Chain A
Amino acid sequence: MAEKTYLQAISDGLRLQMRHDKRVFLIGEDIGVYGGAFKVTQGFQEEFGPWRVLDAPLSETAIVGGATGAAMMGLRPVAEMQFADFISCAWDHLVTIAAKQHWRAGTPVPITVRLPSGGGFSGGPFHSQNPESSFAHIPGLKCVCPATPEDAKGLIISAIEDPNPVLFFEHKHLYRRIKGEVPEERYSTPIGVARIHQPGDDVTIVTWGAMVYTAAEAAAKIDDLSVEIIDLRTIMPWDKDAVLASVRKTSKVIVLHEDTRTGGFGAEIAATIAEEAFEHLDAPPKRITAPDTPVPFAPALEEAFLPQVADIVAGLRELASY
């Protein structure tokens, strides 16, 4: 096994899956000659040729619409949004057509949409969002949010192989910051199965994406508290059983996400816990999220916006003393 960055792991998964399955092709803005805004597809056009690594016009509508049509005709397109934020332009194709086609007409739409998401580097309101809960709400779409390089590779392969439209949220803040051992071979990581990032007994933190690391940092700051961190890995479908099992053990839970609060996916998780594990709760489920505002530019404001280690430490202490 070699150590790879989160970004390299995604490239690796894409490359192996393209070699494995001739139906797989990539489409996106500047992904060919330029290798992508974040260089995920660098060298791909050389290896796979311009017809499998397509540079698209600056139109997310065209990219997702074209991918949807190709998928309906039997191909396995992987569409890249340069930033997850831009997917709003493709809402109609994704939500009205791709998500519903199978239910309307029985035609599978096996597209994968790669969505570089998340903030933390002063990207401002158009380049920092985590729009996963908007899409988790749409029946027919799957939402994947890996946190580790190993999962990023296994899940991009699962996403491409899945017969449904899958939104692959890859966190930009993890791209080059997070490294890990990644198996060389082609493998898939199941969609809908959570991972225990660290086991614990006193409080559960349910989270995904970059917040897994923020949570771990916070947990490490409190010596006398045993914190279990669940990395959901995919939020639609999400691993309800793993979350409920952990909550039944600890009886106290924080749901943590980088997305804004109201209607965020954490609300769904908290509600499910209240419904299905009520008799196991020893404190109210607690959400730690961004506030209900756009993502600010100014570094100080963005820091205030994103959940920080100190916020989580405070939340853990509050629950511990409840």
Chain B
Amino acid sequence: MAAGTVVEVVMPQMGVSVSEGTVTRWLRNVGDTIEADQPLLEISTDKVDTEVPSPGSGVLQEILVQEGETVPVGTLVGRIGTAPAGTPEPEPKQEPARAEPEPEALRTEPEPEDDDEYEEAAPTPRQPVAPAGAGNGAGERHTFVSPVVARIATEHGIDASTLTGTGRDGRVTKKDILGFVESGGGAPEAPPEPKPAVSLPPPLPAEPAAPEPSTPPSTPATRTPAPTATQPVELERGETLEPITAMRRGIADHMRRSLDTAAHVTSAIEVDMSKVVAIRERLKAEFAASYDVNPTYLSFIARAAVETLREWPLVGAELRGESIVTRNYVNLGFAVALDGGRGLIVPVLKHAEGLNLLGMARGVADLAERARTKKLLPDDVQGGTFTITNPGSYGTFMGTPIINQPQTAILGTYAVVKRPWVITDDAGKDAIAIRPMMNLTLTYDHRLVDGAYGAQFLRDLAARLQSWGEADY
């Protein structure tokens, strides 16, 4: 047996409610040498796509989960040995399940209550009969997985061998695994509006461990089972097939659930952006030279929106069960599209109310860059209270976005275009001028925000953008 130690690489916990992840790409091959903290593989969850750094230095000895496979959090995906390459089959050390591969930030979260069931179930040891790894003789009975259990496990991304069974010799029965799924163990389809759960974080926490953008905290893991597992798709001529990604599945679920939850209404307003354009022209060079940051229109709008939310708090509020939760802070989400239609991610700028224009521009640029390079951390996509989406960068002038649950509103920003505009000149006469105009839409949940209230928010936001001087940003 090899001298040297073996470091286990496990599927990291990418966020409170994430129960599984898909290996999208191994960045190293078996036999490659790797240093600790170098990127080892890419994974995808319904929240984020990210790189997993190597938990240790050595040689990648084994890849246990292949690209495209989805496994529960904590599953061993590979082994890194410090022994020289070529040393065969190091004895798998019986280490505690986690070999701490996660980056620092991922480990800081205390295990939340709502994941208890899964977390408890996962490390449950098998019945102590066969030594680990002996797949024969008496041990086989324990690991026997019936066809129906295997199918349900695949559909819900559960490792059946980690469950405690009530069948013959501890076999996991269909009832066992269905019970596990129903208790929230796997990744079942969540009901659209779960009853206000006891495990909700207290309202207005000082440091928001706030609700994540895409799942109410009361549901341990929200996604529909992978449909590919059981339903072969019939292809017509000219069609091609590819499996749905974890992110796409998460988006699909979330979009549907949002429409099923909120009463979406969209109001629009036209904004004369002359002042913003002028200020931006002045600041552009300065920002570039001094800070290497581009003061985008988006950062101006974000600044004005944060100020306006102060006056119209319901727009940044949340309908939580039978209560209305308002906040004295703004965690601003920005919808970032990934290239090639690979998906959409909404990183969150925390405490945006404390940022000036420079801070806002910097924060947005940082989040967007990290979103596109898969460097976002789970915390980066959680806790949003209000979201801005910017389809206008492609020239569109109107849209009706879907609210990012459990938030109440989403602001849409559209293309700034020069248009003939009736103004009143200094002499009090009407004239037609050429003005850079932009449309803004506010899509809000009419359950909580009335039409007049939403319109007043838009009116004040437009007024700020039309009147604020440089110092106000």
Q: Which positions in A face B, CB cutoff 8 Å?
A: 251, 278-283, 321-322
B residues with CB within 8 A of A? 146-151, 167-168, 171, 173-174, 230
| The 9 A-B residue pairs with the shortest CB-CB distance in the complex, in nearest-first order | A282-B174, A279-B151, A282-B146, A282-B148, A251-B148, A251-B174, A279-B147, A281-B147, A280-B148
Known: A321-B168, A322-B167. A282 touches B151 (CB 8 A): no
- The answer to whether A322 and B168 touch across the interface, beta carbons within 8 angstroms, is yes
- How far is B151's CA from A278's CA once the two chains are assembled, in angstroms? 10
Are B168 and A282 in contact (CB-based, < 8 A)? Answer: no
Subset of 19 A-B contacts with CB under 8 Å: A251-B146, A251-B148, A251-B174, A279-B147, A279-B148, A279-B150, A279-B151, A279-B230, A280-B147, A280-B151, A281-B146, A282-B146, A282-B148, A282-B149, A282-B174, A283-B146, A321-B167, A321-B168, A322-B173
Are B148 and A322 in touch, CB under 8 angstroms? no
- Give the shortest distance, in Å, between B270 (CB) and chain A (any CB): 58
Nearest-Cβ distance from residue A201 to partner chain B, whole angstroms: 10
CB neighbours (8 Å) of B174 from chain A are 251, 282
Query: Which among A278, A321, A322 is the interface contact of B147 at CB below 8 angstroms?
Result: A278
Distance, CA A281 to CA B152, complexed state (A) = 11
Please tell me if the beta carbons of A282 and B173 are within 8 angstroms of each other in the complex.
yes
Q: Kindly provide the distance from the CB of B251 to the nearest chain A CB, expressed in whole angstroms.
A: 28
Chain A residues lying within 8 Å of B168, measured Cβ to Cβ, are 321-322
Measured between alpha carbons, how far is A278 from B146 in the docked complex, in Å? 9
A282 to B171 Cα, complex, angstroms: 10
Contacts of A283 in B (CB 8 A): 146
B288 to chain A, nearest CB (A): 60
Cβ-closest chain A residue relative to B146: A282
Which residues of the partner chain B approach A251 to less than 8 Å between Cβ atoms?
146, 148, 174
Dominant secondary structure at the B interface: helix
A278: chain B residues at CB < 8 Å are 147
**B445, chain A: closest CB distance, angstroms:** 39
The interface centre, meaning the residue of B147, B149, B151 with most chain A CB atoms within 10 A of its CB, is B147
A279 to B148, CA, bound (A): 5
User: A166–B149 Cα gap in the complex (Å)?
Assistant: 41
Q: In the complex, what residue of chain A is closest to B230 when comparing beta carbons?
A: A279
Q: How far, in angstroms, from A93 to B168 measured CA to CA in the complex? A: 51
Residues of B within 8 A of A322 (CB): 167-168, 171, 173
Having A280-B148, A282-B146, A282-B147, one finds 4 other A-B pairs with CB under 8 Å, namely A280-B147, A322-B167, A322-B168, A322-B171
Give every chain B residue within 8 A of A281 (Cβ-Cβ).
146-148
Q: How far is the CB of A274 from chain B (nearest CB, A)?
A: 9
Query: Which residue of A is nearest B177, CB measured?
Result: A282
A283 to B148, CA, bound (A): 9
The minimal Cβ–Cβ distance linking A314 to chain B, given in whole angstroms, is 15
Q: Shortest distance in angstroms between B230's beta carbon and chain A's nearest beta carbon?
A: 7
CA A251 to CA B178, docked complex, whole Å: 12
Quote the shortest CB–CB distance from B440 to chain A (angstroms). 52
Q: In the complex, which residue of chain A has the Cβ closest to the Cβ of B174?
A: A282
Rounded to whole angstroms, the CA-CA distance of A312 and B419 in the bound complex is: 84
Which residues of A have CB within 8 Å of B230? 279
Chain A residues with CB under 8 A of B148 = 251, 279-282
Closest B residue to A250 by beta carbon equals B174
A-side contacts of B149, CB under 8 Å? 282
With the chains together, A282 CA to B173 CA distance in Å? Answer: 7
Tell me the smallest distance from the CB of A200 to a CB of chain B, in Å: 14
- A98, chain B: closest CB distance, angstroms: 41
Shortest Cβ gap from A103 to chain B (Å):
33
Interface centre among B148, B173, B174 (most CB of A within 10 A): B148
Tell me the nearest residue of chain B to A280, going by C-beta.
B148
Minimum CB–CB distance for A122 against chain B, Å = 39
Please give me the residue from chain B that is nearest to A318 by CB atom.
B168
Question: How far is the CB of B83 from the nearest CB of chain A, in Å?
Answer: 41
Closest to B172 in A: A282
Interface centre among A278, A282, A322 (most CB of B within 10 A): A282
Smallest beta-carbon distance A276→chain B, Å: 12
What separation, in Å, do the CA atoms of A278 and B150 have in the docked complex? 11
Q: Given the complex, which residues of B lie within 8 Å of A280, measured CB to CB? A: 147-148, 151
Closest approach, in angstroms, between the C-beta of B396 and any C-beta of chain A? 46
Least CB distance from A252 to B in Å reads 8
For the complex formed, measure the closest distance between the CB of B392 and the CB atoms of chain A, giving whole angstroms.
49
CB nearest to A284 among chain B residues:
B146
Can you name the residue of chain B whose Cβ is closest to the Cβ of A321?
B168
Q: How far is the CB of A299 from chain B (nearest CB, A)?
A: 36
The CA-CA distance from A267 to B167 in the complex, in Å, is: 26
- A321→B148 CA distance, assembly (Å): 16
In the bound complex, how far is the Cα of B171 from the Cα of A251, in angstroms? 15
> Looking across the interface, which residue of chain A has its beta carbon closest to that of B173?
A282
Neighbouring A residues of B147 by C-beta, 8 Å = 278-282
Residues of A within 8 A of B150 (CB): 279
Q: Which residue on chain B has the smallest CB distance to residue A247?
A: B148
A129–B55 Cα distance when bound, in Å, is 71
Select from chain A the residue with minimum beta-carbon distance to B167: A322
Q: How far is the CB of B371 from chain A (nearest CB, A)?
A: 39
Residues of B within 8 A of A321 (CB): 167-168
A298 to B149, CA, bound (A): 46
A202–B146 CA distance with the chains assembled, in angstroms: 15
Contacts of B167 in A (CB 8 A): 321-322
B84 to chain A, nearest CB (A): 44
Q: What is the minimal beta-carbon distance from B226 to any residue of chain A, in angstroms?
A: 14
A219 to B150, CA, bound (A): 28
Alpha-carbon distance between A279 and B232 when the two chains are bound, in angstroms: 14
A318: shortest Cβ distance to chain B, in Å? Answer: 9
The distance from the CB of A270 to the nearest CB of chain B, in whole angstroms, is 14
Rounded to whole Å, the gap between the CB of A57 and the closest CB of chain B is: 55
Nearest B residue to A282 via CB reads B174
